[in-house]
């Protein structure tokens, strides 16, 4: 691809475009003094100019990457701003992504185990820094070679100890096909959401397709939150208990760290003996600094999966026959208790979504019942590639405003306006519909807060703005009556 951007980054020369996303484009570049190729990620100029908050988010990603020194995490070289645009220089990995590889050929079982265990170790190092990736998928795995995956794209990562305010409960963020149930429902997300995504990717690499596929996003929502994954093929039965433990619907029932997942793999007969030895050495460095699930607000009190895994009989070491090892007390098949049990998610999805949307905690604890309920699934309009790219950029912008503000104002740049614009381009877009509902919840909360603090003028002004986008909304009408008193 040719260069379609006019920017002069001191010390670098752009060569060609090699990738693009909703918030940025990636170029192959040359670091002039060292004469080495680099990947340069440049934030879209529109986003850089719209809000200083976008700059903060971009630099957050840079700081996240700078903290993570691991052989299976892409290295950051530089970050800065040039000609009004933000850029990040990273190591260039010429073999592309795991997605690119899968377009041409599937992986062997041994390759799938190696890739996912190494990505698991990279995620464990990430989680030890209190960072949750939140968007793990094959397109975010670069390949130095087929046995050396590199975790990348921390654009929506969250540092749990210092950035709790950046992503609020009720906001859905990530890639739906690889989202955990709690992520889909806009609930609190911790490192165990990454474990679920790793399980989905592991399943995809082993079987050749994801466990959940559907013709509509609504159906995919439901399947991710309620359905047990199909069982692995018989030749992979040795991996079934591990898969069940990764894809449990309730985070408390999952493997509680990626390290436990890697240790489980090293004890399976399906893992080659040479790689099991290599993996044992890679996991040993963490033995003195085990991840403490309690520090991630885990409520799971049962025996750890690592203890269960350690109780296996290893035929390689015991001199036993070709017998597969299974978790003690568990059946090696899909739909085991671990994958089905979900007290946190026991309600059917529709009821749970209605519950989430129907109740908002306002101001100092006042509970207000919402008058809107989720609409039945609607047909999503088909759009061309150019429009789809525009929609993605608008959604990224609106999602950011939903997190950081403004939710709504008199100008054109706010969350509600962004989602409205998306719906004019693509009727039925579920992300925009959900965004408008979440924005309204937050707007109602802000209005109630203004009323509780005695600032009825500010409340009336916000109501007036909101009524332009949500005409006839009964909650707004009720709050307006409170300001008139």
Q: Report the alpha-carbon distance of residue 416 to residue 108 in Å, rounded.
A: 46
Give 142-155 pLDDT, tens digit per residue.
999 888 999 987 75
DSSP H stretches of helix in 341-455: 349-358, 385-404, 415-425, 430-452
Whole-number pLDDT of residue 312: 36
Residue 35 has pLDDT above 50, yes or no: yes
Strand partners, 73: 151
The pTM of the full predicted model, rounded to 2 decimals, is: 0.61
> In this predicted structure, what is the pLDDT of residue 22?
59
For 354, residues 6+ apart whose C-beta sits below 8 A from its C-beta are 373, 374
End-to-end CA distance of the chain: 62
Residue 342 has pLDDT above 70, yes or no: no
The full set of domains in the chain, from first to last, is 12-91 (3.30.200.20), 98-344 (1.10.510.10), 349-484 (no CATH)
**pLDDT band with cut points at 50, 70 and 90 for residue 463:** very high
Please tell me which of 56-65, 201-210, 375-384, 433-442 the model is most confident about, judged by mean pLDDT: 201-210
At 339, list the tokens: 């994958």
Mean pLDDT (the chain) is 75
Query: What is the per-residue pLDDT across 285-327, written as a single tens digit (0 to 9) for each?
Result: 775 444 433 333 333 333 333 343 334 333 333 333 333 333 3
With cut-offs at 50, 70 and 90, classify the pLDDT of residue 109. very high
Active-site residue, selected from the candidate residues 6, 100, 135, 452: 135
Of the listed ranges 76-85, 233-242, 343-352, 406-415, the least confidently predicted one is 343-352
Q: Is 135 a catalytic residue?
A: yes
Tens digits of residue pLDDT in 175-229 = 678 889 988 777 778 899 999 999 999 999 999 999 998 776 678 888 988 999 9
Return d(Cα 434, Cα 170) in angstroms, integer.
10
């Amino acid at each position: 691809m040719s260069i379609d951007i006019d920017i002069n980054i001191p010390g670098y020369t752009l060569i060609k475009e090699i990738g693009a996303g909703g918030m940025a484009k990636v170029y192959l570049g040359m670091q002039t003094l060292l004469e080495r190729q680099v990947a340069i990620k440049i934030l879209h100029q529109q986003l850089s100019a719209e809000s200083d908050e976008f700059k903060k988010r971009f630099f957050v990603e840079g700081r996240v990457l700078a903290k993570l020194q691991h052989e299976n995490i892409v290295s950051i070289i530089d970050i800065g701003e040039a000609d009004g645009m933000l850029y990040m220089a990273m190591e260039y990995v010429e073999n592309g992504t795991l997605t690119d590889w899968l377009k041409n050929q599937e992986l062997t079982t041994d390759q799938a185990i190696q890739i996912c265990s190494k990505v698991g170790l990279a995620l464990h190092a990430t989680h030890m820094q209190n960072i949750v990736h939140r968007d793990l998928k094959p397109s975010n795995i670069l390949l130095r070679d087929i046995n050396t995956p590199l975790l990348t794209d921390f654009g929506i990562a969250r540092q749990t100890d210092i950035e709790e305010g950046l992503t609020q409960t009720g906001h859905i963020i990530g890639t739906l096909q690889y989202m955990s149930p709690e992520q889909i429902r806009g609930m609190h997300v911790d490192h165990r959401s990454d474990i679920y995504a790793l399980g989905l990717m592991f399943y995809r690499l082993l079987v050749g397709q994801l466990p959940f596929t559907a013709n509509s996003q609504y159906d995919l929502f439901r399947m991710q939150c309620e359905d047990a994954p199909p069982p692995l093929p018989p030749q992979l039965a040795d991996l079934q208990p591990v898969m069940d433990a990764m894809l449990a619907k309730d985070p408390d029932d999952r493997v509680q760290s990626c390290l436990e997942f890697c240790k489980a793999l090293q004890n399976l007969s399906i893992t080659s003996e040479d790689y099991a030895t290599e993996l044992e050495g890679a996991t040993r460095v963490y033995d003195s600094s085990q991840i403490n699930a309690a520090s991630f607000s885990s409520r799971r009190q049962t025996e750890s999966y690592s203890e269960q895994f350690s109780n296996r009989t290893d035929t390689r070491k015991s001199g036993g026959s070709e017998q597969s090892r299974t978790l003690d007390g568990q059946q090696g098949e899909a739909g085991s208790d671990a994958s089905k049990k979900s007290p946190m998610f026991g309600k059917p999805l529709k009821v749970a979504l209605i519950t989430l949307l129907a109740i908002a905690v306002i101001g100092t604890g006042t509970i207000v019942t919402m008058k809107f309920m989720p609409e039945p699934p609607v047909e999503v309009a088909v759009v061309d590639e150019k429009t789809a790219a525009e929609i993605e950029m608008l959604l990224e912008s609106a999602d950011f405003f939903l997190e950081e503000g403004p939710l709504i104002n008199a100008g054109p740049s706010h969350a509600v306006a962004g989602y409205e614009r998306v719906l004019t381009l693509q009727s039925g877009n579920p992300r925009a519909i959900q965004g408008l509902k979440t924005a309204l919840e937050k707007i109602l909360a802000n209005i109630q807060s203004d009323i509780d603090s005695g600032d009825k003028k500010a409340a009336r002004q916000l109501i007036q703005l909101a009524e332009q986008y949500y005409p006839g909304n009964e909650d707004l009408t009720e709050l307006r009556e409170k300001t008139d008193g």
